[in-house]
Amino acid sequence: MATLKHLLGIEGLNPVTVTALLDLAESYALLNRSGKTQRDLLRGRTLINLFFEDSTRTRTSFELAGRRLGADVVNMSVSTSSVTKGETLLDTAATLNAMNCDLLVVRHNRSGAPALLAQKVDAAVINAGDGTHEHPTQALLDALTIRRHKGRISGLTVAICGDITHSRVARSNILLLTMMGNFVRLIGPPTLIPGGIEASGVTVYHDMEEGLKGADIVMMLRLQKERMTGGMVPSSREFFAYYGLDRKKLAMAKPDALVMHPGPMNRGVEIDSEVADDPTRSVIKEQVEMGVAVRMAVLDTLARGGKQ
Amino acid sequence: MSTLFRKIRYLDDSAQNLIEGEVLVQGGVIADLGQNLGRPDGAAIVEAEGAILSPGLVDMRASLGEPGYEYRETIASAAAAAAAGGITSIAVLPESAPPIDDPALVHLIISRGVETGSVSLIPYAAATRGLNGEELAEYGLLKAAGAVAFTDGGKAIASSRLMRLALSYASGFGMRIVQHPEDAELARGGAATTGGRATWMGLPGIPAAAEAICVARDIRLAELTGGAVHFAHATTGEALGLIRIAKDKGLKVTCDTAPPYFDLNETAIGDYRTYAKLSPPLRTEADRRAVVAALADGTIDAIASDHQPRDADDKRLPFADAAPGGAGLVTLLGITLAQVQSGHLTMPQALALLTKKPAAWLGLEAGVLARGRPADLCLFHPERSWQVVAGKLPGKAQNTPFDGRAIEGLVLGTWKAGRRVFG
């Protein structure tokens, strides 16, 4: 089986590796619920959370995952404003090498920054979101959540809705879901659908109700406020009217369709509270729970040198 | 000092056929060429069976870093790289610090070239003061000082009004405006050509249409003003199509391209290789093929190195933050010859694009092998190979987009005004 040195993206993974990671994560999910995690698996190992971009939830999720496996966890937050110079990024890499860090979790606002670090550090690098490129652990936790509810992660119709252009979550999910044999639809205004995306086998819709017809999974994305100031969407109320998920639009999907969101949500912009908080449809809280399990599986796998 | 080249091939008078013969250099000029010239007393002999003696290459566009960016490249280091690449004349972009927008700075560049003893530097001057895109530079005074044309280098002259004025005013002095053909607004913030590759890498895109839009506008402005426009590094089939039509209409429109645009496509930026981050960006395979076709059919007037020296700190950054630009002096000949090996260009075509045509565009005496012309020469073997290795190239700038590439076409020697400066 292929070994995994870093987790920089879903690109480059294969279905066997993904399935193995999901199986391991599933076991951690069960252990987490029972409260009996192995606390010594990563004893003596150092995990550094290097965040160049604020993200309380992803950082906390990695921190919990590391601690539950017994690793020493250090959080380093570097404000993006002081790190626009790349020398600093590589200086940081040199510092981390000197600290004998084993696992390095990186979030950065520039696409490819974790890949650049991976060339320079000895640690296994985990991409926790880079610019508009990838967010692989999010796609894995989404896949695990789906598999737990649908019993499979293939042959499903998944609608990903909103700002596809600027979403690393969307890219990682498209890669994973198409690789595993699902039908992926992208829904959004033309200004937020990136060029050349249809070649990857997805179908693009600009009419949300049309795109949601018969969907098994409705995956919403966060709309950044900058998109409105950047002129890509005229206003949040117009966006909500056409691309916000409410009960009426959700009715087009299958009756048992799941509603997902990577968080944090903009209620009333991309999703209506009534849908987001509906326990029969929304699995948003479970996504957070599965996040910890998936990150434990990734840390565990990489700490063992990627042997599954 | 005289040199007799024997057992070499060179282009005949028509510049259509390679013939075997001898070339005699005396007093810094080509004294004679033909068969059995006989050896004058004291003449040095250069024999190189299978090699081609071509005019020294005329690079119609390069940035040399000096003044202001000596950490990237100096004129001395660029001259060393040029000599190793067979280049004996370089038209230098004004994008230094300070920019070349003053007659004194034009003189400086010319005299620094003379000091090298190996390469003539022909300065472009700024099209707008300080390259700010706001007001015209002093075209008359700059021309008198020796500027060859006006350009804002890697920055497009974005304002239609200013471009109109520049073309119109320059035409009064019989001078050209060289445009970086890119709609500045469409290209803003972009790092790669728009399309699937940029999308999956999460990089902001620059649409190919940004080039065509700028080219279409400027052709129209050239027609309006009667001015002459030259498009630097054309990279897209659409823009080249517009240029072809404009030329057919007899407008004063010319263009060049650079080796990366006919040798590489957007896939070269995979794994965030910042050495392949260029401006304009590497395009799709269809566009690359269109550039090759435009070289063959004469739409493109010259091949320039587009040398843009960058140092490691400019490039070892996340892709979107890295400075665009590639080193190109030493690979100019070899990458161009690859089009001869693949059968897309003939050897005379390729050499004309590197010598005669850019020399004519720049108004130089060089670029032609003929009696009485300056003995600026490049001797190369078209079948001997070498490998491009970033870090081991001559000169200071190592940011080659061709790292690792095997090249057929080895420069054996370079002569400037009859004096051997390389090999």
Tokens representing B346 are 């003939």
- Whole-prediction pTM: 0.93
Question: Tokens 């010594």 sit at which residue?
Answer: A40
Stretch B50-75: mean pLDDT: 96
Among the listed ranges A157-171, B33-47, B268-282, which one has the minimum average pLDDT value?
A: B33-47
Question: Tokens 């590439």 sit at which residue?
Answer: B405
Distance from CA of B213 to the nearest CA of A (A): 18
Residue of B nearest to A172 (CA): B200
Cis peptide before B67 (omega within 30 of 0): yes
Task: Indicate which residue of B306, B314, B376, B403 is catalytic.
Answer: B306
Residue of B nearest to A113 (CA): B318
Stretch A79-88: mean pLDDT: 56
Helix (H) or strand (E) holding A76: strand A72-77
Contacts of B51 (CB under 8 A, 6+ apart): B8, B9, B379, B380, B381, B382, B412
How many beta-carbon contacts under 8 Å exist across A and B? 75
Above 50 in pLDDT, residue A1? no
Above 90 in pLDDT, residue A280? yes
Tokens representing B131 are 């390259």
Position A91 confidence tier, pLDDT thresholds 50, 70, 90: confident
Q: Return mean pLDDT, chain B.
A: 96
Task: Tell me if residue B306 is catalytic.
Answer: yes
Residue B414: closest CA among B383, B379, B370, B369: B379
Cα angle B369, B79, B380 (rounded to 5 degrees) comes to 40
Above 80 in pLDDT, residue A237? yes
Residue type, B365: E
What is the DSSP-derived secondary structure letter of residue A282?
Answer: B
Distance from CA of B297 to the nearest CA of A (A): 30
Stretch B253-262: mean pLDDT: 98
How many angstroms separate the CA atoms of B28 and B421, rounded? Answer: 13
Contact status of A84 with chain B (Cβ, < 8 Å): yes
Among the listed ranges B37-51, B245-259, B356-370, B371-385, which one has the minimum average pLDDT value?
A: B37-51
- Three-state DSSP state, A13: coil
Residues of chain A with Cβ-Cβ distance to B198 below 8 Å are: 195-196
Q: What percent of chain B has pLDDT over 90?
A: 95
Stretch B209-222: mean pLDDT: 98
Q: What percent of chain A has pLDDT over 90?
A: 80
How many angstroms separate the CA atoms of A180 and A143, rounded? Answer: 10
Above 60 in pLDDT, residue A2? no
Contact status of A113 with chain B (Cβ, < 8 Å): yes
Question: Tokens 């003449």 sit at which residue?
Answer: B43
Tokens representing A305 are 């040198």
Stretch B388-415: mean pLDDT: 97
User: Residue B405, class by beta-carbon neighbours within 10 Å (0-12 exposed, 13-18 middle, 19+ buried)?
Assistant: middle
How many angstroms separate the CA atoms of A209 and A225, rounded? Answer: 24
Position A307 confidence tier, pLDDT thresholds 50, 70, 90: low
ipTM for the predicted complex comes to: 0.90
Is B339 in contact with B345 (CB distance < 8 Å)? Answer: yes
Contact between chains at B199 and A194 (C-beta distance less than 8 A): yes
Helices (H), A187-271: 208-212, 226-229, 236-243, 247-250
Contact status of A204 with chain B (Cβ, < 8 Å): no
Above 80 in pLDDT, residue B14? no
Among the listed ranges A89-98, A243-252, A286-295, which one has the minimum average pLDDT value?
A: A89-98
Above 60 in pLDDT, residue A223? yes
How many angstroms separate the CA atoms of B142 and A193, rounded? Answer: 48
Position A57 confidence tier, pLDDT thresholds 50, 70, 90: very high
Above 70 in pLDDT, residue B155? yes
Above 90 in pLDDT, residue A250? yes
Q: Return mean pLDDT, chain A.
A: 92
How many angstroms separate the CA atoms of B353 and B295, rounded? Answer: 8
Tokens representing B45 are 């002999």
Of A108, A112, A113, the CB nearest to B201: A112
Above 90 in pLDDT, residue A96? no
Stretch B101-112: mean pLDDT: 97
Contact status of A102 with chain B (Cβ, < 8 Å): no
How many angstroms separate the CA atoms of A219 and A173, rounded? Answer: 10
pLDDT of residue A87: 55
pLDDT of residue A225: 76
Question: Tokens 């050209």 sit at which residue?
Answer: B176
pLDDT of residue B207: 97
Contact between chains at A132 and B202 (C-beta distance less than 8 A): yes
3-state SS string for chain B: CEEEEEEEEEECCCCCCEEEEEEEEECCEEEEEECCCCCCCCCEEEECCCCEEEECEEEEEECCCCCCCCCCCCHHHHHHHHHHCCEEEEEECCCCCCCCCCHHHHHHHHHHHHHHCCCEEEECEECEHHHCCCCECCHHHHHHHCCCCEECCCCCCCCHHHHHHHHHHHHCCCCEEEECCCCHHHHCCCCEECCHHHHHHCCCEECCHHHHHHHHHHHHHHHHHCCEEEECCCCCHHHHHHHHHHHHCCCCEEEEECHHHHHCCHHHHHHHCHHHCCCCCCCCHHHHHHHHHHHHCCCCCEECCCECCCCHHHHCCCCCCCCCCECCCCCHHHHHHHHHHCCCCCHHHHHHHHCHHHHHHHCCCCCCCCCCCECCEEEEEEEEEEECCCCCCCCCCCCCCCCCCEEEEEEEEEEECCEEEEC
Give the other-Cβ count within 10 Å of A249's Cβ.
20
Residues of chain B with Cβ-Cβ distance to A117 below 8 Å are: none
Is B180 in contact with B158 (CB distance < 8 Å)? Answer: no
Position B39 confidence tier, pLDDT thresholds 50, 70, 90: confident
- What is the end-to-end Cα distance of chain A in Å, rounded? 7
Residues of chain A with Cβ-Cβ distance to B201 below 8 Å are: 111-112, 133
Stretch B204-222: mean pLDDT: 98
Question: Tokens 């080509």 sit at which residue?
Answer: B30
Residue B154: closest CA among B172, B136, B175, B127: B127
pLDDT of residue A83: 56
Stretch B190-205: mean pLDDT: 96
How many angstroms separate the CA atoms of A70 and A40, rounded? Answer: 5
Stretch B83-102: mean pLDDT: 97
pLDDT of residue A90: 82
Of B200, B202, B207, the CB nearest to A131: B202
Q: For residue B137, which phi and psi values (nearest 5 degrees)?
A: -80, 175
Question: Tokens 């496509």 sit at which residue?
Answer: B265
pLDDT of residue B38: 85
pLDDT of residue A306: 65
pLDDT of residue A79: 67
How does pLDDT run across A104-134, given as a tens digit for each residue?
999 999 999 999 999 989 999 999 999 999 9
Residue of B nearest to A193 (CA): B199
How does pLDDT run across B261-287, given as a tens digit for each residue?
999 999 999 999 999 999 999 999 999
